A and B are shown apart, each in its own frame.
Chain A
């Protein structure tokens, strides 16, 4: 019988690549393609790993519409495994799981996971369209957008625990402080004060502008191989110690339990699979499509006690130098909304010690957390 512990540290990320998010944010181009952005990142990841294009025998693309066109553009017609994952943000972590399992089971040796997004240039809004299930009825009442779903949940959280938005302010301000050390971040050199936050315009109240991620163009790629092969490559491997998933699929994105049950399920499997405890985590990269998602993650994995995230995140605890730095690149709210993909890359760079001024000192173990209708979390180690 296979046990999740058998998978521990058997696969690794060996190459990562990203585009210049800050430059792309300034310069819109309606003809910019997701393919070109993904391929730029792919080239950077190959170079980072010290691999040749021909070494790649597995390919997964996401948000890029067609694996066929991607393989054609890359000149890689005969891959051992190739496919596409849905363009939604929850898929970044799931794509890594697929790649690692292809490698672990011997179906492919070097799998490139590639993401390209031209959302800012083409005016993506993440709202106002048509949904399925009971969500489709929401439009009749003006209900739309994942941001409003998170606003629904945060309002309920506020009611349940009698708190305001101080947790969300601390989270987005921490991210902004970290972006000051990341020249690739859209909000590099643009500080955010508590006063700015409190005076910001609402989008779906109780959430304001700074609770929302930065829709942008960009490409991200990471390359996965076995721990054995990883040792021979250019950069130190970052091992996938554990990964786990739990869905919360019903009529609504918003969950009445604020994702408590799915996150508890993941936590119960993830830490034992990785052979670590929550206390071993040196930093976390937490999917911040909207700031409440981060708050729910911090409580869901037990970093903050239930109902106490508001106090827990204050006083620099989640900032560089604190007990659990989060969003060290600036994350989605201050670096760029790359749907979790660039957060994976940041985790790798932190564990390699490549992050310069924003380096988490002595980082050995990092956790990726994405809370969504399919929640996923990984533990990586150097």
Chain B
């Protein structure tokens, strides 16, 4: 069956490198060439120092679960079959935070501050989503 969950309708030129990196199974985020700040989602200027100079720096993909919830209510029809499904709020080592899903762990085994690492889910030919799995210790 075709992948029917939400995906970006249109990717702007600004965001394209983020998605291109995920396809290559890398996490790349904007890193300011002036102040060193790393941020997400993509903006034209560094939100810390407003410099327009940045690079798409490769990130470790490592982080920790800041918090997490389990959805029992259907909001998106495409997620109905997954209920109850968990959503984690992950803080990468580089600072930016992401909502995501965990793979390789049961809902009830997720914990705050649990170390995680990137899992690249190639959901369609076009898109790879940044998910997370428990970190290898």
Contacts and interface: CB of A to CB of B under 8 A. Distances in A.
Interface of A: 125, 127-128, 133-145, 148, 151-153, 155-156, 159, 201-206, 251-252, 254, 256
A151 B69 contact: yes
Given A138-B99, A155-B112, A251-B97, A128 B76 contact: yes
A205 B129 contact: no
B87 A143 contact: yes
Nearest to B41: A134
Contacts of B99: 134-135, 137-138, 141, 143, 252
A127 B77 CA distance: 12
Contact of B76 (A139, A153, A254): A139
B54 to A, nearest CB: 17
B75 A205 contact: no
Interface in B68-82: 68-73, 75-76, 79, 82
B55 interface: no
Interface residues of B, number: 33
B67 A152 contact: yes
20 contacts: A127-B73, A133-B41, A135-B99, A139-B76, A140-B6, A141-B87, A142-B71, A142-B75, A142-B76, A142-B79, A143-B87, A152-B67, A152-B69, A152-B89, A153-B67, A202-B84, A204-B69, A204-B70, A252-B99, A256-B91
A151 B73 CA distance: 13
A157 to B, nearest CB: 9
A128 to B, nearest CB: 4
A159 B98 contact: no
Given A134-B99, A159-B113, A142 B85 contact: yes
A148 B69 contact: yes
Interface string B94-137: 00011111000000000111000000000000000101000000
A295 to B, nearest CB: 15
Interface of B: 5-8, 40-41, 66-73, 75-76, 79, 82, 84-85, 87, 89, 91, 97-101, 111-113, 129, 131
Nearest to B88: A141
Given A139-B6, A201-B72, 16 more contacts: A134-B98, A137-B99, A138-B99, A140-B7, A141-B99, A142-B79, A143-B99, A155-B67, A159-B111, A159-B112, A202-B84, A203-B72, A204-B69, A204-B70, A256-B66, A256-B97
B71 A134 contact: no
Contacts of A251: 40-41, 97
Nearest to B75: A128
Contacts of B6: 139-140
A139 B4 CA distance: 12
A165 to B, nearest CB: 13
Question: Residue among B84, B91, B98 with the most chain A CB within 10 A?
Answer: B98
Contacts of A205: 69-72, 84
B112 A145 contact: no
Contact of A144 (B8, B40, B66, B75): B75
A139 B99 CA distance: 9
A134 B69 contact: no
B41 A137 contact: yes
Question: Residue among B69, B73, B111, B113 with the most chain A CB within 10 A?
Answer: B69
